Structure 1
Amino acid sequence: MHLIIQSLTPIDAPHYAALATLARSQHIVALDSHALRIEDADPAPGPWQTELSAYCAAQALDYAWIEPERKLADFGLVAMDMDSTLITIECIDEIADYGGFKAEVAAITEASMRGEIKDFNESLTRRVALLKGLDAGVLERVYDERLALSPGAERMLAGVRAAGLKTLLVSGGFTFFTEKLRERLGLDFTRANTLEIVAGKLTGRVSGEIVNAEVKARTLRETCAQLGLAPSRAIALGDGSNDLQMMAAAGLSVAFRAKPVVRAAASVAFNYVGLDGLLRLF
């Protein structure tokens, strides 16, 4: 296997020997100052795996095991969660902040993303109900004043497009934001929840089917079918428990600065580097 090591800061020479020992291989290729590929590394279970994980955590390094023959162009679709994945914020929490009750909504969001609230529909319904009566103009304010792309997002998108992949943004958040991001970033497909607005006010309800974990996975499979792809040719990126089914349906799953339950289930976890870390895997 290839063992890919990435860091936000330059990887200094002293790391090379330690990582080579832990990977049980001396074949090291510097991809750039922030990334190494250790070829012919040994992924077999053993005490060195625990030591590798502990070493990387202590040094703020991300690592991933990748089959040597895998190429980015072997995939056909990148499916992304939006909140806290493609973007840095949880939009619903920021909307609530304009009404003075961010802490209450954020607590529900956090519990849901950790998997402590098993029913996403209930979680979303409870949070959206708290938005009732807010002026719909707060959505524009959140987008203009608070929404930021995650580090490396635009470089990652450019790289996957250059390799011929299509892009899907599928979110348990809201269409107001996914559609703006579709236009801004040139995304191919989006799916999210629609906030109900009457007379310029949020009603505290969503319209139509709620985009929960099952719907996210179904959307990935349907988009793959539309493109003539097997789901194994999809890459899925997410951070919360609502992304787990979508990530399980894909051929490669990436946990991005994710909750522990998601990191444990994913093929690859990026705890430190940006979304463009995806490009260095191949």
Structure 2
Amino acid sequence: MDLILQGLTAQRGVIEQIAHLARARVVVAIGEHAYRCEGISYNDEVKAQIDVATWAAHLDYAFIDRGRSLTNFKLLVMDMDSTLITIECIDEIADMQGLKPQVAEITEAAMRGEIEFRESLMRRVALLKGLDASALQRVYDERLQLSPGAEKMLAAIKAAGMKTLLVSGGFTFFTDRMQRRLDLDYTHSNQLEIVDGKLTGHVIGDIVDAEEKKRTVERVCKELDIMPSQAIVMGDGANDLKMMGIAGLSVAFRAKPVVRAQADVALNFVGLDGVLNLL
């Protein structure tokens, strides 16, 4: 097993200090601010020390079995809101109604796992009733941005021959546009009901909650004739945990504590392309 250390900046001296905690024999630079520590000692005590030291230094760490590479995987699965993109779309839509604080509070509680996702989505969407549907395009044009490192990560994923799946508790209006913009292979999300150019406050069809996200990953894996263990799954909220739980590698990206605690790897400071340094 190797220890990967990376950050937006990373001083060699700090890296050496943290590597010493793991009793690393060799420290190899693998990127401008990324290092692989080889010949390490690994146990719960060491992991706890590394966790504290890296957080203080604004570095991300991961203990990875030596020899794992992108070639071990066939599918990259991404959550959308606050993972592939920087915003929670529903919060920004609500802002057009002057209701962002109320909706954002429910969103946060759901992502922390304090409210069941299905209930939280229905409550939030209901608050949008009567909003002109043009607000969706405004959110896309004015507020939606890709998370740092997204395009670099996707370029490498595609070059490795992997397929991509965007599965979201958000809305088809945005996932459809992300699919076209980024040339993604699969998407699955919720469809807002629009009548006479206005949001009705309802979702059409079944809600894409945690269980449906997991089923979607299983369904796409079956279609590709691969095992879920050949998928990398990235997410940030409690509704991502079930699909992350069946993945070969689960990545918590700038995630809630409940997600960081259960994921194989947490990227708290670097961009999405930080996953490339792990493999």
TM over 0.5: yes
Deviation at 1:16, TM superposition (A): 3.5
Corresponding residue SS for 1:194: strand
- Which residue in the other structure is 1:112 paired with? 110
Distance 1:97 1:20 in 2: 45
**1:22 and 1:49 in contact (8 A); partners too:** no
- Asked if the contact 2:5–2:15 (Cα under 8 Å) also holds between the matched residues in 1, the reply is no
Q: Please say if residues 78 and 167 of structure 1, whose CA atoms lie closer than 8 Å, have aligned partners that are also in contact.
A: yes
Deviates further, 184-193 or 63-72? 63-72
Write the distance in 2 (CA, Å) between the matches of 1:150 and 1:25.
32
Unaligned runs of 5+ in 1: none
Q: Which residue of 2 aligns with 1:54?
A: 52
Partner of 2:93: 95
The residue correspondences of 1:201-212 to structure 2 (distance < 5 A) are 201-212=198-209
Counterpart residue identity of residue 221, structure 1: E
1:17 Cα offset (Å): 2.7
Q: Secondary structure at the match of 2:83?
A: helix
1:34-61: per-residue Cα shift (whole Å, max 9, x none)? 1000012222222x32221111010000
- Please give the alpha-carbon distance, in whole angstroms, between the structure 2 residues aligned to 1:159 and 1:78: 11
Q: Distance in 2 between matches of 1:42 and 1:67?
A: 13
Match of 1:258 in 2: 255
Tell me the CA shift for residue 24 of structure 1.
1.2
Q: Partner letter of residue 4 of structure 1? A: I
What secondary structure sits across from 1:196 in the alignment?
Answer: strand
Q: In structure 1, what is the equivalent of residue 189 of structure 2?
A: 192
Residue 43 (structure 2) aligns with? 44
User: Deviations along 1:243-281, whole A, 9 cap, x unmatched?
Assistant: 000100111000000000000000000000000001111
Q: Which of residues 73, 80, 90 is equivalent to 2:71?
A: 73
Are 2:16 and 2:27, in contact at CA under 8 Å, matched by a contact in 1? Answer: no
- TM-score, with length taken from structure 1: 0.97
Is the aligned partner of 1:8 residue 2:8?
Answer: yes
Amino acid at match of 2:105: A
TM-score, normalised with respect to structure 2: 0.99
Partners of 1:162 and 1:88 lie apart in 2 by: 24
2:213 is the alignment partner of 1:216: yes
Q: Secondary structure at the match of 2:28?
A: strand
| Residue 277, structure 1, aligned to residue 274, structure 2 | yes
User: Distance between the aligned counterparts of 1:50 and 1:231, measured in 2?
Assistant: 29
1:24 aligns with 2:23: yes
Alignment partner of 1:167 is 2:176: no
Q: CA deviation at 1:164?
A: 1.1
Q: One-letter code of the match for 1:61?
A: L
Counterpart Cα distance in 2 of 1:266 and 1:281: 14
**Residue 141 of structure 2 is aligned to residue 140 of structure 1:** no
Partner SS, residue 84 of structure 1: coil
Structure 2 residue 240 is matched with structure 1 residue 243: yes
- Partner letter of residue 103 of structure 1? P
User: Among residues 215, 222, 225, which one is paired with 2:222 in the alignment?
Assistant: 225
CA-CA distance at 1:69 after TM superposition? 1.6
% of aligned pairs identical? Answer: 61
